[in-house]
Amino acid sequence: MLLLDKLLLSPLHATIWAARQVHHAMQQEQAAEPERITADLSELYMMLDTGRLTEAEFNAREKVLLDRLDRIQSR
């Protein structure tokens, strides 16, 4: 009977395992988001310094990144 129970419940266990893996991956991605935003900001400053971005383009992109960072930090 125990073997039959394991066979019948294996799809449920597989689904739970998959959901846990997805949840873990999402947590890791969210934890790394501030670092990615900081790296993007550094790249923006470099692009501004080298003249690849205008001041207006820089300000628009910087605002988007800083808003994302604020939302993350407020959670």
Range of the domain at 52: 28-75
Q: Which amino acid is at 69?
A: L
Is residue 9 situated within a structural domain?
no
Tens digit of each residue's pLDDT (9 = 90 or more) over 13-53: 999 999 999 999 999 998 899 999 999 999 999 999 999 99
What's the confidence (pLDDT) of residue 1?
A: 63
Question: How many domains are there within the chain?
Answer: 1
What is the average per-residue pLDDT within 54-63? 96
Is residue 46 situated within a structural domain?
yes
What global pTM score does this model have?
A: 0.66
Is residue 20 situated within a structural domain?
no
Q: What is the DSSP string of 31-69?
A: HHHHHHHHHHHHHHHHHHHTTSS-HHHHHHHHHHHHHHH
Q: Do residues 57 and 65 make contact, with C-beta atoms less than 8 angstroms apart? A: no
Contacts of 65 (CB under 8 A, 6+ apart): 37, 40, 41, 44
Is residue 51 situated within a structural domain?
yes
